[in-house]
Amino acid sequence: MTAKISITVTVNGTAQAADVEPRLLLADFLRENLDLTGTHVGCEHGICGACTVLMNGDSVRSCLTFAVQADGAEVETVESLGSIDELGPLQQAFREKHALQCGFCTPGMLMTATDMLRKYPLETDDDIRDGLSGNICRCTGYQNIVAAVRSAADKRDGK
Amino acid sequence: MAALAASNGDAKVLAGGQSLVPMLNFRVVDAPLFVDINGIEGLDLIEEKEDGGLRIGALTRHFALETSVSVRDRFPVLHEAMKHVAHLAIRNRGTIGGSLSHADPAAELPMMAVLLDAKIVAAGPDGEREIPAGDFFTAPLTTVLAPDEIVVAVDLPGLPAATGWGFEEFAQRRGDFAVAGVAALVTREGGTVTNTRIALMGLHDTPVRARSAEAAFGESGIEAAAVAARQDADPMNDLHGSADYRRHLAEALTRRVLTAALERAVQ
Amino acid sequence: MSPPDDIDLTRPQFIGAKVMRREDPRLLAGEGNYVADIKRHGMLHIAFRRSDHAHALITNVDVSAAQAMEGVVAVYTGADITRLANPYQATSRMKNYQATFIPPLAVDKVRYVGEAVVAVVAISRYVAEDALALVELEYESLAVLVDPEEALKPDAPKLHDDLESNILAAREFARGEVAEAFADAAATAGGRFHFTRTTPVTIEARASVAEYDKGTRTLTLHCTTQIPGIVRDKLSEIFDLPGPRIRVIAPDVGGGFGGKTSLYSEEIVACAIARDLGKPVKWVSDRMEDLMTTGNAFDEIVDAEIAVAEDGRILGVKADVIGDVGAYSIYPWTATIEPVQVVSFLPGPYRIANYAARVRAVATNKTLTGAYRGVGRPISVFVMDRLLDMAARKIGMDPAEIRRRNLVNDDEFPYKAASGLVWDKSAFQACLREAADGIGYDELRREQAAARADGRWVGIGVACYAELTGVGSRIAVAPGMPINTGTETCNVAIDSTGAVTASFGLASQGQGMETTLAQVVAEELGVKVEDVDIVLGDTASVSHGTGTYASRGAVFGGGAGILAAKAVHEKIVRVAGHLLEAAVEDIETGNGDVRVKGTDKSMTIRDLARALYSDMGRVPKDMRDEIDNLEATKVYDPFFGTTTSASHMCLIEVDPETYKVEIKRYIVVEDCGRVINPLIADGQAHGGVAQGIGVALMEEVIHDKTGQVLTASLVDYVVPSAVEIPSIDVVHVEAELPGTVGGFRGLGEGGTIGAPACIANAISDALSPLGIEIMEIPATPERLFRLVEAAKAD
Distances in Å between the alpha carbon of C459 and those of B170, B221, C444, C593, C767?
22, 34, 9, 57, 8
Alpha carbon dihedral C165, C167, C169, C170, in 10-degree steps, equals: -110
Instruction: Please report the ipTM that was assigned to this predicted complex.
Output: 0.98
Structural contact between residues C659 and C785, judged by C-beta atoms closer than 8 angstroms: yes
Nearest CA distance, C508 vs chain A (angstrom): 8
For C77-122, how does the pLDDT look when each residue is reduced to its tens digit (9 = 90+)?
A: 999 999 999 999 999 999 999 999 999 999 999 999 999 999 999 9
User: What is this structure's pTM?
Assistant: 0.96
Q: What is the pLDDT of residues C207-232, one digit of tens each?
A: 999 999 999 999 999 999 999 999 99
Q: Centre a 10 Å sphere on the Cβ of residue A89 and count the other Cβ atoms it contains.
A: 13
What's the confidence (pLDDT) of residue C402?
98
8 Å CB contact between C668 and C648: yes
Determine, for residues A46 and B21 on separate chains, whether the beta-carbon distance falls below 8 Å.
Answer: yes
Contact B17 A52 (CB under 8 A): no
Closest to C647 in 3D by CA, of C668, C676, C622: C668
Which chain C residues have a beta carbon less than 8 Å from that of B242? Answer: 782, 785
pLDDT digits (tens, 9 = 90+) for C487-522: 999 999 999 999 999 999 999 999 999 999 999 999
Provide the percentage of residues in chain B whose pLDDT is more than 70. 97
What are residue A79's phi and psi, to 5 degrees? -65, -15
What is the distance between the alpha carbons of residues C381 and C376, in angstroms, rounded to a whole number? 9
* DSSP summary character for residue A80: G
In the predicted structure, residue C7 carries a pLDDT above the cut 60: no
Q: pLDDT exceeding 70 applies to what percent of chain C?
A: 99
Given the candidates 1.10.357.10, 1.10.150.120, 3.40.50.2300, 3.20.190.10, the CATH classification of the domain at A89-156 is: 1.10.150.120
C:720-749 residues touching chain B, CB 8 A cutoff: 720-721, 723-724
C-alpha separations of C259 from A103, A139, C106, C109, C479 in Å = 17, 13, 21, 25, 19
CA–CA gap between residue C156 and residue C61 (Å, rounded): 28
Please check the confidence at residue B7 and state whether its pLDDT lies above 80.
no
Neighbours of C443 (CB within 10 A): 9
**B36 at interface of A, judged by CB pairs closer than 8 A:** yes
Q: Which of C259, C316, C459, C298 is nearest to C380 (CA)?
A: C298
Chain B residue numbers with beta carbons less than 8 Å from the beta carbon of C782 are 240-242, 245
Task: Please state which of the ranges B241-245, C92-96, C144-148, C772-776 shows the lowest mean pLDDT.
Answer: C92-96
Task: Please report which residue ranges of C584-677 form alpha helices under DSSP H.
Answer: 605-613, 621-627
**Residues in chain B closer than 8 A to A66 (CB atoms):** 14, 17, 21, 34, 36
Nearest to A134 among B26, B67, B88 (CB): B88
Q: Is C204 on the interface with A (CB under 8 A)?
A: yes
> Is C512 part of the contact surface with chain A (CB cutoff 8 Å)?
yes
Domains of chain B: 44-156 (3.30.465.10), 163-266 (3.30.390.50)
Neighbours of C18 (CB within 10 A): 12
pLDDT 10s digits, B71-83: 999 999 999 999 9
Annotation: CATH topology of C35-142+205-253+260-293: Aldehyde Oxidoreductase; domain 3 (3.90.1170)
Using an 8 Å Cβ cutoff, are C73 and C459 in contact? no
For residue B5, the model assigns a pLDDT of 65
CA angle C669/C671/C674 to nearest 5° reads 125
- Mean predicted confidence (pLDDT) in A15-29: 97
Do C759 and C653 form a contact (C-beta atoms < 8 A)?
no
Phi, psi (deg, nearest 5) at residue A97: -90, 5
Give domain limits for chain A: 5-80, 89-156
C544 close to C637: Cβ distance less than 8 angstroms: no
Q: CATH assignment of A5-80?
A: 3.10.20.30
Per-residue model confidence as pLDDT tens digits over B137-172:
999 999 999 989 999 999 999 999 899 999 999 999
C289-329 pLDDT, tens digit per residue, is 999 999 999 999 999 999 999 999 999 999 999 999 999 99
pLDDT of residue C727: 97
8-state DSSP, C243: G
Condensed to tens digits (0 to 9), the pLDDT of residues C652-677 reads: 999 999 999 999 999 999 998 899 99
Measured CA to CA, the distance from residue B240 to residue C702 in angstroms comes to 11
Tell me the β-bridge partners of C212.
Answer: C219
pLDDT, residue C6, reads 47
The gap from C-alpha C410 to its chain's centroid, in whole angstroms, comes to 28
- Is A92 within 8 Å of A126 (Cβ atoms)? no
Residue C1: pLDDT band with limits 50, 70, 90: very low
Q: How far is C66 from chain B (nearest CA, A)?
A: 17
Q: How do C218-223 and B46-48 pair as beta strands? A: unpaired
Which of C351, C470, C453, C353 has its CA nearest to residue C411? C351
CB proximity list for C353: less than 8 A, separation 6 or greater? C175, C176, C181, C315, C316, C418
Task: Give CA–CA dist A69/A58, Å, rounded.
Answer: 14
Question: CB–CB of B38 and A69 under 8 A?
Answer: yes
pLDDT at B96 > cutoff 80:
yes
The gap between the terminal CA atoms of chain C, to the nearest Å, is 56
* Fold designation for C24-32+487-636: Aldehyde Oxidoreductase; domain 4 (3.30.365)
What's the topology of domain C297-473+639-793?
A: Aldehyde Oxidoreductase; domain 4 (3.30.365)
Say if C24-32+487-636 and C297-473+639-793 have the same CATH topology. yes
Report how many Cβ contacts below 8 Å link chain B to chain C: 47
Q: At what angle do helices C678-697 and A143-156 cross, to 10 degrees?
A: 110
Q: Where are the domains of chain C?
A: 24-32+487-636, 35-142+205-253+260-293, 297-473+639-793
For range C142-170, the mean pLDDT: 97
Q: Both ends of chain A: CA-CA distance in Å?
A: 56
Cβ–Cβ under 8 Å, residues C344 and C359: no
Is pLDDT of B128 > 60?
yes
According to DSSP, residue C258 is labeled T
pLDDT, residue A1, reads: 59
pLDDT of residue C11: 63
User: Which chains, if any, share at least 3 CB pairs under 8 A with chain C?
Assistant: A, B
Are the beta carbons of C348 and C380 closer than 8 angstroms? yes
B100, pLDDT greater than 80: yes
pLDDT reported for residue C455 = 95
Structure confidence at residue C476 as a pLDDT band (50, 70, 90):
confident
pLDDT at A2 over 80: no
CA-CA-CA-CA torsion sign (A115, A120, A126, A130): negative
